[in-house]
Copies of this chain bind each other. A is one copy, B any other.
Amino acid sequence: MVTVTVWNEFRHEQEDEDAAAVYPDGIHATLADALEGHDPVDEVQTATLDEPEHGLTEDVLEATDVLFWWGHIAHDEVEDEIVDRVQERVLEGMGLIVLHSGHFSKIFKRLMGTTCDLQWREDGATERLWVVDPGHPIVDGIDECIELPQTEMYGEPFDVPEPDRLVFTSWFEGGEVFRSGCCYQRGKGRIFYFRPGHETFPIYENEEIRRVLRNAVEWASPREGSPRTFGERE
């Protein structure tokens, strides 16, 4: 059984009416609700930027199997020491699921080694997420595409390393495409970048998106694997 920690910047929902209307208790509460009580999730805890150590103490991270990350306007306020700590845990095997504007978070840029930049347009037009890897466990039970009536557009080029597996590619009504579901492994940890989730559209209420999030928890959960032994050898 798996313990999930949902990390949220939690600023938009406190400062911006539109975001508060969609996510009154914060994006983290909605995400937690999508995961709680669903196999293989045993426990969900949340953490936010303005808590001490951003809510990501050594103890919290030690107990976390899979960490979700949502941030947007305050990436720079995340302390480097906490980023170091999260990176270390990922390399040891903790799963990390980076959502939407989290593409620009310190932790995602740290793990990717690139700018993670992209093109964008806040037009509220339709997005279709097409499954391009129908055998991947992250799409268990998902149809050939997920349609979201209103989204912010993200367009290529997306400045990330070529994904280990590309699971979703998005089509946007305005004419763009985007690699919107990207799997990586770094150290023993599995990382899933998943594009959907703007703060003023109720995307995390969508049942198919919630199904993907739960599948991603299962996929990203730590495996026992083999020891990582480094240093001088006799």
Interface residues of A (CB under 8 A from B): 87, 91, 93, 110-115, 117-121, 128, 130-137, 139-144, 153, 155-159, 161-162, 164-166, 169-172, 175-177, 179, 184-190, 223-234
Contacts and interface: CB of A to CB of B under 8 A. Distances in A.
A174 B11 CA distance: 38
Given A91-B159, A157-B228, A223 B113 contact: no
A185 B162 contact: yes
Contacts of A188: 134-135
A169 B187 CA distance: 17
A113 B140 CA distance: 24
Q: How many copies does the complex hold?
A: 4
A170 B156 CA distance: 11
B110 A227 contact: no
Contact of A228 (B159, B224, B230): B159
Contacts of A156: 130-132, 144, 169
* 10 interchain residue pairs of minimum CB distance: A135-B188, A117-B230, A139-B226, A134-B226, A111-B113, A140-B224, A131-B226, A119-B233, A137-B223, A113-B113
Per DSSP, chain A at the interface is loop
A177 B177 contact: yes
Given A115-B91, A169-B169, A184-B161, A227 B176 contact: no
A184 B135 CA distance: 12
Nearest to A117: B230
Contact of A225 (B93, B134, B165, B184): B134
Nearest to A126: B175
A134 B162 contact: no
Q: Which of A110, A136, A143, A175 has the most CB of B within 10 A?
A: A175
A157 B141 CA distance: 15
B157 A189 contact: no
Q: Which of A91, A131, A228, A233 has the most CB of B within 10 A?
A: A233
A136 B164 CA distance: 13
Contacts of A228: 117, 134, 157, 159
A1 to B, nearest CB: 16
5 contacts: A117-B231, A132-B158, A159-B228, A171-B175, A176-B233
